[in-house]
Amino acid sequence: MGRISFKGMIGLMIAGLSFAVSIFFPWWALRLIAPQYKEGLYMWVYPYKMEGDIDIINGLNHYIGMEKFSEASFPELGFLAYIVGAVALLTIIVALIRNRTLLAVWTGIVLVLAAVGIYDIYRWLHAFGTNLSPNAPIEIEPFTPPIFGTNQLANFETFSFFSYGTGFVGLGILLLLLVLWKGKANHD
């Protein structure tokens, strides 16, 4: 497949930096709005921690029998930042080696990791929304909150969305694909 051009190498370096920077921003978020919470309640999920109005959200979720959200509930938060750091480092190594075959393999691995990450979010949302306590004060039908989009639950409107960190990951993946497609050196 040949070598990666100098511009392609720079693009891969930027991709690696994008992956690294993503660690310091939230990747996914949830906003709940209701008449009593017009300003909204937020939960921000980083690759290594959760922030926001988690205690209030947990207090409300108790009424429908949902488990509490906590960093301990998501073991991935204990190691995801290290995986992302390794992806960043390996992307920079691929950039320095400048081999397009290696880039093709690496891009495939990164795409699989991204797909597994999206599935993992879905899996957790499904588990939290369908494993409701039968002893909850308010009985509702089990549900799976959307990974992205709105959902109506009683008087709460929820909006789930990918945040800045995912934007940096997306930029990194886009650059991998772009360099793979257009980054061939004219001379080996």
Q: How far is CA 78 from the centre of its chain?
A: 14
Would the CA dihedral through 95, 96, 98, 103 be positive or negative? negative
User: pLDDT per residue over 143-175, tens digit each?
Assistant: 888 999 998 888 889 999 999 999 999 999 999
Beta bridge partners of 150: 159
| pLDDT of the residue at 187 | 60
- Summarised one tens digit per residue, pLDDT across range 11-52 is 999 999 999 999 999 999 999 999 999 899 999 999 999 999
Average pLDDT, the chain: 93
**Confidence band for 1, pLDDT divided at 50, 70 and 90:** confident
Contact call for residues 47 and 22 (beta carbons, < 8 A): yes
Structural contact between residues 106 and 88, judged by C-beta atoms closer than 8 angstroms:
no
Kindly report the pTM of this predicted structure. Answer: 0.89
pLDDT tens column, 61-94: 888 989 888 888 899 999 999 999 999 999 999 9
pLDDT at 188: 47
Average pLDDT of the segment spanning 107-136: 93
User: In this structure, what are the phi and psi dihedrals at residue 158, rounded to the nearest 5 degrees?
Assistant: -105, 150
Q: Which of 148, 145, 156, 144 is closest to 60 using CA atoms?
A: 156
Q: Which long-range contacts (CB under 8 A, 24 or more apart) does 18-21 make?
A: 18/168, 18/169, 18/171, 18/172, 18/175, 19/84, 19/87, 19/88, 19/91, 19/168, 19/169, 19/172, 20/84, 20/85, 20/88, 21/168
C-alpha 31, offset from chain centre: 16
Phi/psi at 187 (5° precision): -125, 135
Q: For CA atoms 73, 78, 83, 85, give the dihedral sign.
A: positive
